[in-house]
Amino acid sequence: MIGILGAGALGRLWAALLPADQVGYLSRPEASLSGQDVDYIFESISGEEHPIHLSPITPETISVLLVTTKAGDTLTALQHRMPAIPLRTPIVLFQNGLGSQQSVAEAWPDRPILAASTTEGANRPTPERVIHAGLGKTWLGPMTPSGRQCVEDVLRVLKQTGLELHAEENILTRLWDKLIVNAGINPFTAILDCPNGDLLESAFFQKHIGALCREMALLVAAETDRDLSPEDLQERIRDVVIRTARNTSSMRADVLRGKPTEIDFINGYLVGLGKKLGIPTPVNQLLTEQVKQLSPHSE
């Protein structure tokens, strides 16, 4: 069986598109032993509605696990479930940002751990409804040595959804690219409470984006082998702001719903990395602190 750990917006998207008889979800440990069946309406990218029924499964039966919890919940969620999951089961991490993937790989270095970077977009406007809001692409690559042997098998399983998937040997590079864009958009939209496109008119964004990109360019150069100029990073961020002008970022959405954000795994990750490498990151620090003040549940 294909298992979903974290049956939220993204987990329910994969669950809806995989063959119904091959997929189930892992309930929260505090739920009753068997958990409850989950029913929801799935709105496909073309607007069609499909009723989806998802049953709880036991960890012992899982042949591929898709982990779609938020970054801050991932390690704890896996710690509860990992002992009962077969040793050869690939564990696929879908979290945005960086830091949670490395923590999982360090905790279970002998297991096949993979990370995914996806531009699919899913949201859950009500508990019983999941919308596939944006068609994207997903890249999949290994986080541990034994993960490398599983990439093709996992791709075969996930391609049953009809979504576009690719192998990515250097998945950390892919995750870095997404982190840079998220770090340059998400906290600003959360602090300013605005859709992405409004950033270009914002004095606060204009004041800080150049220095933020200089911090990120130094971190990328020190942590990876890539030499990306601050101007290049700023251009990438600007491109995405323009292409997604009407969108609400996930961080703004989390703040609006009073939920914890993933700031610790985006700008907060960059602050931690800067401390480790001796690179000052005052703008990342400022953004992290301001977002944390907006989200009472953040640690």
Ligand X SMILES: NC(=O)c1ccc[n+]([C@@H]2O[C@H](COP(=O)([O-])OP(=O)(O)OC[C@H]3O[C@@H](n4cnc5c(N)ncnc54)[C@H](OP(=O)(O)O)[C@@H]3O)[C@@H](O)[C@H]2O)c1
Closest to ligand X by CB, 10 or 283: 10
Is 178 a catalytic site residue?
A: yes
Tokens linked to 44: 């496909």
Would strands 91-93 and 64-67 be described as parallel, antiparallel, or unpaired?
parallel
Compute the least distance from the CB of residue 122 to ligand X, in Å. Answer: 4
- Cα distance between residue 245 and residue 18, in whole Å: 31
Compute the least distance from the CB of residue 203 to ligand X, in Å. Answer: 28
Closest to ligand X by CB, 7 or 190: 7
Closest to ligand X by CB, 39 or 231: 39
DSSP 56: B
Compute the least distance from the CB of residue 41 to ligand X, in Å. Answer: 16
Closest to ligand X by CB, 62 or 217: 62
Which residues are near ligand X by CB under 6 A? Answer: 5-11, 26, 28, 68-71, 73, 77, 94-96, 118, 120-122, 124, 250, 262
DSSP SS3 for 68: coil
| Residue among 70, 137, 159, 178 flagged as catalytic | 178
DSSP 139-186: EEEESSHHHHTTHHHHHHHHGGG--EEEE-TTHHHHHHHHHHHHHHHH
What residue has token string 């997404």? 178
DSSP SS3 for 136: coil
Cβ atoms within 10 Å, residue 256: 12
Compute the least distance from the CB of residue 293 to ligand X, in Å. Answer: 21
In the bound state, the residue with its beta carbon closest to ligand X is 8
Compute the least distance from the CB of residue 254 to ligand X, in Å. Answer: 8
Closest to ligand X by CB, 168 or 217: 168
- Cα distance between residue 114 and residue 116, in whole Å: 7
The b/e string for 40-51 (b: 16+ C-beta within 10 A; e otherwise) is bebbeeeeeeee
State the catalytic residues: 178
